[in-house]
Amino acid sequence: MVEVFKTNVKYQEEANGIIDHIRNAFDGYDANFDLEDCDKILRVCSQTKKIDAESIIKIVQNSGFDAEVLDEDTKILTSGFSDIKSDLIILTTSLSFLVL
């Protein structure tokens, strides 16, 4: 199970603290941030349990930040963006060699 949240966390140190809180509060949950994404994405996953979104939001809020669950359409777009960005970099690099 995976749940994706939009946050306003800006710095990796802040993100690391929230990740630690999530891991300590929920056995079997893992979490990571994509702070380069415009929505400062927090992904929480578990191999065995449904993600308790309300509790995750409270942990983020208690740390001084905002969080909201992203809708399914946004999750799909966000989850593939990193791959697309990498593909564009490779394509741009390849095209620049062709032009020369």
The predicted-structure confidence for 10-46, as pLDDT tens digits, reads as follows: 999 999 999 999 999 999 999 999 999 999 999 999 9
Kindly report, residue by residue over 47-88, the tens digit of the pLDDT. 988 999 999 999 999 999 999 998 765 554 544 444 444 444
- Looking at residue 92, its pLDDT comes to 42
Which 3 state secondary structure label does DSSP give 85? helix
Asked whether 65 and 8 are in contact (CB, 8 A), the reply is: yes
Residue 83 in domain: no
- Quote the CA–CA distance of 95 and 100 in Å, as a whole number: 9
- Looking at residue 3, its pLDDT comes to 95
For position 46, which CATH number holds?
3.30.70.100
Residue 81 in domain: no
- Looking at residue 71, its pLDDT comes to 76
Spatial CA neighbour of 85 closest among 35, 15, 37: 37
Which 3 state secondary structure label does DSSP give 92? helix
- Looking at residue 72, its pLDDT comes to 66
3-state helix, strand, coil in the chain (%, to 5): 50, 20, 25
Q: How many domains is the chain built from?
A: 1
